[in-house]
Structure 1
Amino acid sequence: MYKTDEIIHLKKHEILEWPGDYTVLKGYVACKTAEHLVYFAKQGDTIMVPEHFSQGLLQFQVKEDTTLVSLPEEKPYVMLERRNVLKNRLMASLIMRVRFFSIPAKERLYVLLFQLGREIGIEAGTDCYIPDVLTQKEIGDYISCTREYLCTVRKQLMDEGWIDKGKGWKLLGWERWKSHWGDRFLEADNVLQNSEESLWIEPELRFHAGTSQK
């Protein structure tokens, strides 16, 4: 059991401002830089809030009422290993951000949806459901397009059979998504995989890139 002073409860839209390492017990946390999405963390994921990022370069915002646990100080070599893996997680995500804005807006929506499916998606049969954690305005901001253009592209994805025609974002044929868009993440995945293979770290603190929540 966790001690009371290790548990942090944040309301929807609040910012995690205290440096340290945390595991998400419940909810979703968006890591953003300059109002652009870097990655999402869900239940069971570990995040690191660096000490020198208090001026807004990195921001950790919860997207629903969220509970986190502050990880205790460990032996120096354990802390170093854990921090290196978490830093490489961030580096891999930033690589994707740089590449993200070199592709057309329509493809950016595909890639963003695929990223969300990988990081916080819930697989249901052959499909993948993305929890309702982003507004249309946020999605439009993240892919740098107007709301009107987003609606147009969303309809195209529906007509092409990529997403369900209902409300929300249900990715149809998740294996097809992975086969078409997974290569966009290969370089970032290699950065993360190489860092994990070169370090020993407790399994529960690892990030499992590319897996969806079952």
Structure 2
Amino acid sequence: MDKMAKLKKKYSSLNSLSDIPKQRPNEMRGKPLIERIIPSLTLQVHGRGEYVLVDFNAAAGYRFNGKLTAGLGWNHRVAYNKKRDGFSALPRVYGIRSFSEYKIGKGFSPRVEFEMMNAPVPPMIQRTSGDYSNRQWVPGAFVGIKKDYKFFGGVRGTSMVMLRLFHYEHKSPYSDVVNVRTGFEFPMRKKGP
């Protein structure tokens, strides 16, 4: 009876359950563009040797429907040298990252990411000496799971556990196969009249 009452509220012209549409309606249909775009900021901290490395990934996702979101972002790594007590440009990593995710319920979403990062080669996080040969564009791919939750007001918190799929010619700027990230999403609403 509760289900029928909810359905009657959603579909006011229903006379029986056989009148329910077979395909679930797209909850994004008719929504303005601003409500489909979700800006986000994700952080990842690496601690290796004399450096503390923090990745900042600013991105924007586009909601195709209530479940599927895909987007692009820019990742930039900032390095702090603990021995010299200052920031260093040498180990910085930057580049573009694309992602796609599909909500499966209770805030969980499987997620895939592809990226192209400009990084020192060999990677700073795997180097034994202080010298490096050059910088190169290094491809990367990740698969994992994202969990989102209410944080404050309209802001949503996110946590991700991502598995690095390959280590291209041992140039990956990530030292671990498993990468943990945390961040925030800022869903936007159209302002009223």
| TM tier, smaller | under 0.3
Bigger Rg over Cα: 2
Report which of the two has the higher share of strand: 2
Normalised TM-score (structure 2)? 0.23
Normalised TM-score (structure 1)? 0.21
Report which of the two has the higher share of helix: 1
